[in-house]
Amino acid sequence: DAGVIQSPRHEVTEMGQEVTLRCKPISGHNSLFWYRQTMMRGLELLIYFNNNVPIDDSGMPEDRFSAKMPNASFSTLKIQPSEPRDSAVYFCASSFEGRNSPLHFGNGTRLTVT
Amino acid sequence: GESVGLHLPTLSVQEGDNSIINCAYSNSASDYFIWYKQESGKGPQFIIDIRSNMDKRQGQRVTVLLNKTVKHLSLQIAATQPGDSAVYFCAENRNAGASKIIFGSGTRLSIRP
């Protein structure tokens, strides 16, 4: 079991640029979650999918953020245009069945926007 | 607003002693709770979970206690080891129809030799 795989591990970009974060969930898991972690706000749920369908995106901070899950084995989180306040660690997590099942997290993407 | 919070932001424990990390939640509708451990540079790692129809659950060296009356959750770690040093988060499932896992602010556990 390779676990949840995220790429890149680190991303440094300039303000205004587009950023795309990628996630490969654990095979067989049917729920996928995107979280953002900062010192000030802790771990915030941005959006989650069940069977590739977005269920709740109320945590997405602005229209600059978008997430897709074109198939069961891949998801992206895109920020366009990026801003310095988007700097954070972004985590992807997956679970089986989604309901009352623990999440398995990737090791995150550390994003720095200058 | 509703929140999941922790009583203590940091906890220092002597190696070999037991650790108790506390968590308060405010959503009485939450029915599933999880404890995670996060080490530096890594994602949160599942430790133990508990459903609201239980008040205690034990794992290897860890015990989770749930008091629904006062909306309180605790994680007990027996015989704390240096490898237990990390940030610990409690989390709750707030959506009865699906999975909306909300995390608390975290407690840093440090171990004194």
What is the full per-residue pLDDT of chain B (113 aa) written as tens digits?
A: 334 443 448 999 999 999 999 999 888 888 899 999 999 999 999 999 999 999 999 999 999 999 999 999 999 999 999 999 999 999 998 765 556 788 988 999 999 98
pLDDT number for residue A1: 62
CA angle B9, B10, B15 (to 5 degrees): 150
pLDDT number for residue B5: 45
Of B98, B101, B106, the CB nearest to A103: B101
Preferred mutation among A36, A92, A94, A103 to probe B, highest tally of B CBs within 10 A: A103
Three-state DSSP class for residue B38: strand
pLDDT number for residue A96: 85
CA–CA distance from A100 to each of A18, A67, B79 (Å)? Answer: 35, 23, 29
In the predicted model, residues of chain A with pLDDT beneath 50 are none
Distance from CA of B71 to the nearest CA of A (A): 18
